[in-house]
């Protein structure tokens, strides 16, 4: 099988550059799977969300200690050195979302009834800022209330009253959640395949096509005793081997990194969607290989096409954080439907027809893209041949 | 002679579509992708009024204080809640389909019903705690002195805000700008492709073109300087266009100090070009290997400067500060960041100082490697 062997030799020659994408994929998958170390807790218990804040106090009175304890119920205190540069850095990179500064002599002035303020620096408009403000104001307003109405109250006595009062809490009932699967981390890994798999497939396919498009090689092949049908068959077999291997290696990497979920039905659907996507990636590689003329242009086109579709479709940035118009543009790329299908598969807990319908329709769209790419490339090749 | 080599080199470089693509079109496309993908990212943390429902039964209607408190919190511009009155069944449905974050049942013990724990649910709980706690405080005071009833109730209306925002000089802590700064820094370092070409085209044992240039009756340094000037001019124009696109088309803020931003870009571009020249002079291998080294170093530098994952930049600067100072991509990113976010220029000056040091070092080393090289045979 000379054509098949030739294709395989071309792929072998390109393996180092293809491996880069595989390493990126494995690296990202390892990071994602290690970050999912905290599994879903029992959801029937309410836990308060804690914001990361920096608490800088120049006043070590009991009142401020009490305030610190009260804020501690809803915040994690992060130690940041008290200098402007470090604090600004911490806020910018969200090590903390709020910096609260208690000025010197605050408690004394507060008890004396003077108008005093705590100073905050925060990420403007953030929800956690509203949350911390609510807690600080609650503490100090209650303190003020006691100071106004309890005669001769000492600072320690005031803090004791505050502790007692602020221990009162509203009851929270968390509705028992329906058994819902959430494999969002696994979905992220499969989504990431849209980047690595497409890059590998397009680069590999275009490399084969570039070699086969060579005029001299074409002439040599047409005068060889192998019929056109046979050589085409060998070419398709080579494509199948290459794309199958690229897909299999990544699927195995996914399995190894997430052994827990290998035996679930969700994985079966992840496999189906990635397989159809592989078909689509191969078709896209075939199309690009049919259009592009120079070998130098291939990495350029691959990067723009793959990075572009991955950025817009929610492969790198979760789709729920993308704007509506961005997603609308993304819907013209197969990666969008692949990500959509995977995100739905990750949520599947029932596998009846109605739950599976949206998944199948997304996979069908990917298949349509693949068919369109193939049809287009055949058309282009035909036109080129006549020219 | 300078003008002759410079003009011809300029023409020659402009015809090199591949280098122009990687130094100009690729960063430009990437900036557009960043813009489309990241423009919404800050909205995730922005506070939005919380949709809640209250069970509108007799207990709620009779509890006037609670009713007033809840209505007050759901009024005006700075309101906490968007309140819906509903029956328990309706509220349950609203919660189930995600229209509200939780619903409240009034009574002796106020109850909050939610579907999951989260920031908004915690804020609702904080509000309800606040209400119960105020009642408890009132109870405590009245137990002490029941005659104070009127006075106590009056004082409840007088609630103050005790936290005041300290205005910060400099820009907003908008994390998205940093992605664009790393991108510009990366594009500066991509200037190394031009630098690489310059050194390859002057070393007679690397390319036939270089062999031809070497036998020309021109001093090697003169030929090298004239052609690297052409490279730098093209890269500067390319960078200026990229900067203009990011600033004026994508509307990314660089702070008010435009002159310094341009200076950073110029120094970044020079560092990039000389970095490429140095690597190309040092690595005596094929062009493929040289390109791999340049891309590898630029991408690793960009990763450590936070281009793929923003927290990396902060983690590195806190834990391995040395790595921040030897990474030109980070130095450039940090210089842009300092101009945008910090009001004093000392950190900026330090970044630019170290970066200029790198540029000089690359330049001197390239010169030392290239000078007086003779070839016995090619």
Which residues from chain A sit within 8 angstroms of residue B92, using beta carbons?
175
Q: Is A317 an 8 Å CB contact of chain B? A: yes
CA-to-CA distance for A242 and A205, rounded, in angstroms?
9
pLDDT of residue A177: 65
- pLDDT > 70 fraction of chain B, expressed in percent and rounded: 99
A344 & A243 share domain: yes
Subunit contact A174:B126, Cβ cutoff 8 A: no
**A79/A25 same-domain check:** no
Spatial CA neighbour of B341 closest among B329, B330, B333: B333
> Cβ separation of A124 and B172 shorter than 8 Å?
yes
Task: Please indicate whether, in this complex, the C-beta atoms of B45 and A145 are within 8 angstroms of each other.
Answer: no
What tokens appear for B265 in the block? 């870009």
On whether residue A45 sits in a domain, the answer given is no
Structure confidence by residue, pLDDT tens digits, B247-274: 999 999 998 899 999 999 999 999 999 9
Per the domain annotation, does A44 fall within a domain? Answer: no
CA distance to partner chain A, nearest, from residue B371 (Å): 32
Phi, psi of A161 (to 5 degrees): -60, -45
Which range (B92-106, B143-157, B231-245, B247-261) has the least confidence? B143-157
pLDDT in tens, B42-78: 666 677 888 999 888 888 888 888 888 888 888 887 7
Q: Does A68 map to a domain?
A: yes
Domain residue limits, chain B: 2-40+176-370, 49-156
Of B125, B70, B43, which Cα lies nearest the Cα of A74?
Answer: B125
Contacts of B175 in chain A (CB under 8 A): 92-94
Give the range with max mean pLDDT: A59-73, A189-203, A272-286, B140-154: A272-286
In this structure, are residues B342 and B170 in contact, taking their beta carbons and an 8 Å threshold? yes
Would the pTM count as exceeding 0.90?
no
Q: Is residue A174 part of a domain?
A: no
- At A366 the pLDDT is 94
Residue A147 and residue A33 share a domain? no
What's the mean pLDDT in B136-157?
A: 81
Strand partners, B112: A172, B104
Q: Tell me whether residue A29 is exposed, middle or buried, using C-beta atoms within 10 angstroms of its C-beta: 0 to 12, 13 to 18, 19 or more.
A: buried
Comparing CA positions, the residue from B2, B12, B5 lying closest to residue B234 is B12
Average pLDDT, chain A: 86
Predicted confidence at residue A180, as pLDDT, reads 57
Q: Taking CB atoms and an 8 Å cutoff, what residues of chain B touch A133?
A: 161, 163
B316-342: average pLDDT: 93
**pLDDT above 50: residue A264:** yes
* Residue B236 confidence (pLDDT): 96
Same domain, residue pair A233 and A375: yes
Nearest chain B residue to A141 by CA: give it: B159
> What letter would DSSP give residue B303?
H
From chain B, the residues in CB contact with A329 under 8 A are 36
Residues 296-355 (B) with a CB less than 8 A from some CB of A: 310-311, 313-314, 317, 337, 341-342, 347
* Two tokens, residue A198: 């497409």
Q: Is the pLDDT of residue B338 over 90?
A: yes
In a domain, A175, yes or no: no
Is residue A145 domain-shared with residue A260, that is, in the same domain?
no
Q: Residue A133: pLDDT above 70?
A: yes
User: Are the beta carbons of B127 and A134 separated by less than 8 Å?
Assistant: yes
Q: Phi/psi of residue A171, each to 5°?
A: -80, 140
Residue A372's Cβ-count burial label (10 Å; 0-12, 13-18, 19+) is: middle
Judge whether A326 is closer than 8 Å to chain B, CB to CB: yes
Same domain, A32 and A69: no
- CA of B44 vs chain A CAs: smallest distance (Å): 7
Query: Which one of A122, A124, A146 has the shortest CB-CB distance to B137?
Result: A146
Interface list for A 171-230 with B (CB within 8 A): 171-175, 177
Tell me if B170 and A146 make a contact (CB, 8 A cut-off).
no
**What is the pLDDT at residue B148?**
78
* DSSP conformational letter for B41: G
CA nearest neighbour of A246 among A270, A274, A209, A210: A274
| Same domain flag for A73 and A35 | no
* Nearest Cα residue in chain A from B81: A130
Q: Does A19 touch chain B (CB under 8 A)?
A: no
Size of interface A-B (CB pairs under 8 A): 234
Q: Report the gap between the CA of A123 and the closest CA in chain B (Å).
A: 6
Q: CB contact, 8 Å: B285 with chain A?
A: no
Instruction: Mark whether A157 and A33 lie in a shared domain.
Output: no
Overall average pLDDT of the A195-208 stretch = 89
Contacts of B127 in chain A (CB under 8 A): 134
Range of the domain at A342: 2-39+181-386
Q: Nearest CA to CA, how far is A180 from chain B (Å)?
A: 13
Tally of structural domains, chain A? 2
| A154-185 pLDDT, tens digit each | 888 888 888 888 888 888 888 776 555 667 77
Q: Which chain A residues are within 8 Å of B347, Cβ to Cβ? A: 85
Beta strands in B48-149 (DSSP E): 50-55, 81-86, 102-105, 111-114
Establish if A64 belongs to a structural domain.
Answer: yes
B121 touching A, CB under 8 A? yes
Boundary-marking domain end, from A118, A139, A166? A166
Helix or strand (DSSP H, E) at A57: strand A51-57
CB contact under 8 Å between B122 and A48, yes or no, is: yes
When scoring A81, A120, A139, A149 by the number of chain B Cβ atoms within 10 A, the one with the most, hence best to mutate, is A149
Report the pLDDT value the prediction gives residue A40, as an integer from 0 to 100. Answer: 47
Residues of A in contact with B18 (CB under 8 A): 296-297, 300
Q: Is residue A132 part of a domain?
A: yes
Per-residue pLDDT tens over the stretch B121-132: 888 988 888 888
Rounded (to 5) percent helix, strand, coil in chain A: 70, 5, 25
> A135-152: buried (b, 16+ CB within 10 Å) or exposed (e) per residue?
bbbbbbbbbbbbbbbbee
Give residue A37's pLDDT.
47
Q: Which residues of B fall within a CB distance of 8 Å from A173?
A: 111-114
**Residues forming a β-bridge with B114:** A174, B102
- Of A171-175, B153-157, B191-195, highest mean pLDDT: B191-195
pLDDT digit string, tens, across residues A27-52: 877 777 676 544 444 456 778 888 89
Task: Among A109, A135, A166, give the residue marking a domain's end.
Answer: A166
The fold for domain B49-156 equals D-Maltodextrin-Binding Protein; domain 2 (3.40.190)
Task: Specify whether A313 is located in the same domain as A186.
Answer: yes
Q: How close B220 gets to chain A, by Cα (Å)?
A: 30
Q: Is the pLDDT of residue B175 over 80?
A: yes
B293 vs A176: CA distance, rounded Å: 55
Neighboring chain A residues of B132 at a CB cutoff of 8 Å: 168-170
The two beta strands, A75-77 and B102-105, are unpaired
Q: How far is A353 from chain B (nearest CA, A)?
A: 21
For A74, name the nearest residue in chain B, comparing CA atoms only. Answer: B122
The CATH number covering residue A104 comes to: 3.40.1710
Contacting residues of A for B120, CB less than 8 Å apart: 127
| CB of B327 closer than 8 Å to CB of B302 | no
Check whether residue A121 and residue A261 sit in a common domain.
no
Domain match, A350 and A271 both: yes
Q: What is the pLDDT of residues B199-231, one digit of tens each?
A: 988 888 888 888 888 888 888 888 889 999 999
Mean pLDDT of all residues in A191-217? 87
Q: Are A190 and A244 within one domain? A: yes
The tens digit of pLDDT for each residue in B223-254 reads: 889 999 999 999 999 999 999 999 999 999 99
**ipTM at complex level:** 0.84
Does the pLDDT of residue B322 top 70, yes or no?
yes
Tell me, letter by letter, the H, E, C secondary structure of A286-347.
HHHHHHCCCCCHHHHHHHHHHHHHHHHHCCCCCHHHCCHHHHHHHCCCHHHHHHHHHHHHHH
Q: Is residue A176 part of a domain?
A: no
Closest partner residue to B117 (CB to CB) among A47, A148, A165 is A47
């Amino acid at each position: 099988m000379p054509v098949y062997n030739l294709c395989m030799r071309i792929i072998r020659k390109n393996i180092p550059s293809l491996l880069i994408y595989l390493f990126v994929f494995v690296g990202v998958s390892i990071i994602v799977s290690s970050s999912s170390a905290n599994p879903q807790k029992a959801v029937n218990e309410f836990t308060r969300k804690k914001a990361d804040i920096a608490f800088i106090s120049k006043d070590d009175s009991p009142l401020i200690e009490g305030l610190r304890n009260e804020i501690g119920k809803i915040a994690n205190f992060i130690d940041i050195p008290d200098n402007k540069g470090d604090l600004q850095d911490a806020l910018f990179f969200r090590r903390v979302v709020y910096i609260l500064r208690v000025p010197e002599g605050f408690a004394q002035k507060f008890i004396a009834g003077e108008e005093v303020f705590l100073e905050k620096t925060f990420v403007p408009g953030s929800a956690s800022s509203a949350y911390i403000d609510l807690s600080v104001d609650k503490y100090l307003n209650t303190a003020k209330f006691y100071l106004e109405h309890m005669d001769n109250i000492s600072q320690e006595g005031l803090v004791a009253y505050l502790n007692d009062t602020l221990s009162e809490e509203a009851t929270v009932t968390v509705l028992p959640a329906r058994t819902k699967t959430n494999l969002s981390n696994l979905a992220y890994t499969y989504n990431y395949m849209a980047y690595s798999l497409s890059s590998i497939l397009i680069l590999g396919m275009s490399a084969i096509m570039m070699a086969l498009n060579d005029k001299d090689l074409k002439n040599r092949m047409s005068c060889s005793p192998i019929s056109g049908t046979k050589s085409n068959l060998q070419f398709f077999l080579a494509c199948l081997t290459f794309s199958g291997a690229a897909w299999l290696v990544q699927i195995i990497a996914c399995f190894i990194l997430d052994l827990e979920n290998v035996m679930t039905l969700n994985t079966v659907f992840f496999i189906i969607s990635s397989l159809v996507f592989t078909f689509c990636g191969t078709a896209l590689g075939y199309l690009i290989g049919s259009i592009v003329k120079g070998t130098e242009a291939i990495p350029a086109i691959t990067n723009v096409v793959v990075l572009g579709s991955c950025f817009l479709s929610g492969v790198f940035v979760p789709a729920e954080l993308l704007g509506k118009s961005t997603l609308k543009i993304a819907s013209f790329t197969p990666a969008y439907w692949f990500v959509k299908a995977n995100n739905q598969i990750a949520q599947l807990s029932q596998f009846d027809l109605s739950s599976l319908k949206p998944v199948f329709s997304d996979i069908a769209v990917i298949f349509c893209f693949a068919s369109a790419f193939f049809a287009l490339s055949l058309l282009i090749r035909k036109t080129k041949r006549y020219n | 002679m300078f003008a002759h080599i410079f003009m011809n080199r300029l023409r020659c470089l402009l015809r090199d579509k591949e280098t122009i693509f990687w130094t100009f079109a690729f960063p430009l496309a990437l900036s557009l992708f960043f813009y489309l993908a990241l423009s919404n990212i800050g909205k995730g943390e922005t506070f939005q009024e919380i949709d809640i429902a209250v069970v509108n039964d007799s207990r709620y209607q009779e509890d006037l204080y609670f009713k007033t408190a809840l209505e007050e919190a759901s009024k005006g511009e700075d309101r906490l809640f968007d309140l819906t009155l509903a029956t328990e069944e309706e509220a349950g449905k609203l919660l189930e389909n995600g229209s509200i974050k939780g619903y409240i049942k009034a009574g002796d013990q106020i109850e909050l019903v939610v579907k999951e724990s989260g920031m908004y649910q915690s804020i609702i709980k904080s509000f309800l705690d606040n209400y119960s706690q105020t009642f408890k405080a009132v109870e405590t005071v009245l137990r002490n002195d029941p005659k104070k009833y009127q006075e106590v109730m009056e004082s409840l209306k007088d609630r103050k805000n005790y936290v005041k925002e300290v205005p910060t000089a400099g820009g907003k802590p908008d994390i998205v700008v940093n992605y664009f700064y790393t991108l510009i820094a990366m594009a500066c370092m991509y200037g190394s492709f031009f630098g690489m070409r310059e050194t390859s085209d002057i070393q007679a044992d690397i390319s036939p073109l270089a062999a031809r240039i070497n036998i020309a009756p021109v001093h090697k340094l003169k030929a090298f300087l004239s052609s690297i000037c052409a490279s730098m001019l093209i890269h500067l124009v390319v960078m200026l266009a990229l900067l203009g696109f990011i600033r004026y088309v994508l509307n990314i803020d660089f702070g008010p100090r435009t002159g310094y931003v341009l200076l950073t870009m110029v120094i970044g571009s020079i560092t990039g070009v000389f970095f490429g020249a140095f690597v190309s002079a040092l690595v005596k291998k094929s062009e493929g290997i040289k390109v791999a080294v340049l891309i590898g170093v630029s991408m690793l530098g960009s990763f450590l400067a936070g281009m793929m994952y923003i927290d990396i930049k902060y983690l590195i600067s806190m834990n391995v500060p040395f790595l921040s100072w030897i990474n030109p991509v980070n130095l450039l990113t940090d210089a842009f960041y300092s101009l945008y976010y910090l009001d004093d220029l000392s950190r900026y000056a330090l970044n630019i100082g170290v970066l200029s040091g790198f540029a000089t070092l690359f330049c001197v080393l390239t010169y030392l490697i290239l000078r007086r090289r003779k070839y016995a045979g090619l």
